[in-house]
Structure 1
């Protein structure tokens, strides 16, 4: 059996493990050697207690930049490669004396089963000697080169900060646009419904999810749809609005869900950015007690029976919109229900987690539905979000629709 602790210690280059609170959990031999700290001076201590900024140099920002990078990784769950940074490292044995070091860090997340960041891999390439050797034999040239690298690192950091601010503004505008284009949740006839939307945490991975609820003519019938656009931000919000409106209109004039998706597929081929979007359309007929459905590459709706049994409606699934080289009629299927159950439609933020098979997420959903059988749609929707979403929020949008049967 492989001794991973021994392998970790022997890794070439400086590598450390941190908690999401930025406390050292472990460090390999090169990190201990090149950082000038013992293992006891590292493990269990916050990275900024071990390596504080130089108080004698107001321009020193290497540690602050590192803090921003590590926190981004915790918030987004994404790897972050930093520009080379200048660090003033205080001598352990001679307090108040500082060495100038140049490190090129890469920070990466280790995710738990629920998709949350549980550890940070902090890898550092020591480039101090490279920087100094390029300066030639004179100390004056070395100081000039150091100043150039330092200024460049600060410039790159400022550019990154401006980009993040612009992304935050775009995210806010995109969310407002999405909210304006999605319909307000309303009952279908006399049947209660609940709609929940939770935007992704972090960056711009928002605004591709959409839903639609309509009351259909010809008896006690209603249509419920949900979809997901590839992409994010303002572009995804615009495409989402077009697809939702097109499907909502089509469902009022066609003969069934498959035909509605056929119309939407044809329309999606003319909309830039709509290719490979997913959608599922369900028609609920309370007179016949039947759900008719068709899916264009979307996750299967969950039919919760009063007994607690959960049936995933996966008998009529076809490729996403615009993904088939030749158009052909989409499949359609039916599932019977009894009074007292619920139909649940959702997007991938509810069930998908990084490095986990989708079946595990569907099993969690089925278990949660069974535990909360008999709950009203509003209570059921709140319970599902509480149990299914990571504490810090999902890294993808989540749309959830619950219809009482």
Structure 2
């Protein structure tokens, strides 16, 4: 049987659990029959309506938190593109036949994303299991064993929710500190000066996804030359941001005295060997000579810079690629290559957040970047950087940090 022969809409309606499809705006796109039965609603009372208009919190319960908890879970799925299982929830439901009367109900919800080819969340799968009968099994008058168990479960669920909220707040504070650290360590736009260059940094979405991407632009000794580099540290949060700052500073210093980019990366590799957390970090550095119209480059496991010639031809600078930093037990000399350009060409260095997408070959992202750079090559550097980010990053933001440097040669 092939996919065309399967009635997926019919399968959805026959699912044995309560399942709903929500839009990113939390409007019911569809629900299965079991959902309607369990919720005690007709299809016209649900589909096309806002989730919390259909199921608001019980206004008679000042401590009701089901709506807030569910909204937070769904937002986490939208932000991260990852499945989120919730703790047991008490979420009372208004009796559709007797407005103003609320039924005490307990639910076990799970929320999952439906992603498009670019990794954007286009639908939310909201599956719930009603466990009210289990909670109240063998129930009797208040104070019975079942009612005591119910109270204990509800209390534990509240405690878990409070713990999750404290953890999210802690991660959010860590993200703020890490972003501040990254901003302090990365060179400001004013340092680019009159080099006809544009720099962009976009942190990943989600409170847990601060990474270690970095970029640098330095003046080189002798002639009209600059060094342009980008790199990526494995890991997240403050540790990655701290390692990023160390590696960026070390490469910036090495570039100023090295004979070429390969030598600068050799020095950086030796330094990375003694920095905890620098394992498998990647970097690429280019030395641009504006008088000779040459770019000399070397890469330590990083994605290749892109050179867009004035006629629109795209050249990936991938002839001097070596393993990531600290990949060899004993540091080895790294390769180096050079290429020529004509005045008016454009060079782009970037990190993987710009081109990598889940379930997509990296070549597709590189082709997308090359096409955007070539098509917008006549724009000033600042406008070109904005255009590339607008076209390549998902509307809601990427799940990995993104650094981009555009240099008009």
* TM-score > 0.5 by shorter chain: yes
The verdict on how the C-alpha distance between 1:125 and 1:324 changes in structure 2, with shifts beyond 3 A counting, is farther
Taking structure 2 as the reference length, the TM-score comes to 0.92
Which one of the candidate residues 355, 358, 371 is aligned to 1:354? 358
Distance between the aligned counterparts of 2:405 and 2:25, measured in 1? 35
Pair 1:240-2:244 in alignment? yes
Per the TM alignment, residue 152 of structure 1 is displaced from its structure 2 partner at its CA by 1.8
Pair 1:192-2:210 in alignment? no
Q: For residues 360-399 of structure 1, what are the structure 2 equivalents within 5 Å?
A: 360-399=364-403
Aligned residues: 404
Mapped contact 1:189–1:215 kept (Cα < 8 A): no
Per the TM alignment, residue 219 of structure 1 is displaced from its structure 2 partner at its CA by 2.1
**What is aligned with 1:142?**
146
Mapped contact 1:186–1:193 kept (Cα < 8 A): no
Deviations 1:73-132 (A, max 9, x none): 223323211101112122222223332222111111222233322111112223223323
Distance between the aligned counterparts of 1:287 and 1:313, measured in 2? 20
Mapped contact 2:140–2:147 kept (Cα < 8 A): no
The verdict on how the C-alpha distance between 1:269 and 1:137 changes in structure 2, with shifts beyond 3 A counting, is farther
The verdict on how the C-alpha distance between 1:380 and 1:4 changes in structure 2, with shifts beyond 3 A counting, is same
Q: For residues 80-99 of structure 1, what are the structure 2 equivalents within 5 Å?
A: 80-99=84-103
Per the TM alignment, residue 61 of structure 1 is displaced from its structure 2 partner at its CA by 1.6
**What is aligned with 2:75?**
71
Distance between the aligned counterparts of 1:173 and 1:191, measured in 2? 31
Pair 1:21-2:25 in alignment? yes
Q: Which runs of 5+ in 1 are unaligned?
A: none
Distance between the aligned counterparts of 1:52 and 1:187, measured in 2? 52
**What is aligned with 1:281?**
285
Per the TM alignment, residue 190 of structure 1 is displaced from its structure 2 partner at its CA by 6.2
Distance between the aligned counterparts of 1:149 and 1:16, measured in 2? 26
* Local SS of the residue matching 2:19: strand
Mapped contact 1:187–1:193 kept (Cα < 8 A): no
Per the TM alignment, residue 232 of structure 1 is displaced from its structure 2 partner at its CA by 1.9
Which one of the candidate residues 291, 296, 299 is aligned to 2:300? 296
Deviations 1:302-358 (A, max 9, x none): 111111222121222222222345543222222221110111111122222233222
Which one of the candidate residues 253, 256, 278 is aligned to 2:257? 253
**What is aligned with 2:206?**
202
Mapped contact 2:23–2:124 kept (Cα < 8 A): yes
Distance between the aligned counterparts of 2:239 and 2:191, measured in 1? 30
* Local SS of the residue matching 1:402: strand
**What is aligned with 1:214?**
218
**What is aligned with 2:46?**
42
Pair 1:265-2:272 in alignment? no
Mapped contact 1:341–1:374 kept (Cα < 8 A): no
Mapped contact 2:66–2:91 kept (Cα < 8 A): yes
Mapped contact 2:221–2:257 kept (Cα < 8 A): no
* Local SS of the residue matching 1:334: strand
Which one of the candidate residues 177, 180, 200 is aligned to 1:176? 180
Mapped contact 2:139–2:147 kept (Cα < 8 A): no
Per the TM alignment, residue 138 of structure 1 is displaced from its structure 2 partner at its CA by 6.0
The verdict on how the C-alpha distance between 1:29 and 1:377 changes in structure 2, with shifts beyond 3 A counting, is same
Pair 1:132-2:131 in alignment? no
User: How well do the aligned residues superpose, as a CA RMSD in angstroms?
Assistant: 2.1
* Local SS of the residue matching 1:54: coil
Mapped contact 2:36–2:43 kept (Cα < 8 A): yes
Mapped contact 2:80–2:206 kept (Cα < 8 A): yes
Distance between the aligned counterparts of 1:365 and 1:392, measured in 2? 19
Per the TM alignment, residue 19 of structure 1 is displaced from its structure 2 partner at its CA by 0.4
**What is aligned with 1:164?**
168
* Local SS of the residue matching 2:20: strand
Distance between the aligned counterparts of 1:61 and 1:146, measured in 2? 17
Per the TM alignment, residue 141 of structure 1 is displaced from its structure 2 partner at its CA by 2.5
Distance between the aligned counterparts of 1:189 and 1:116, measured in 2? 36
**What is aligned with 1:334?**
338
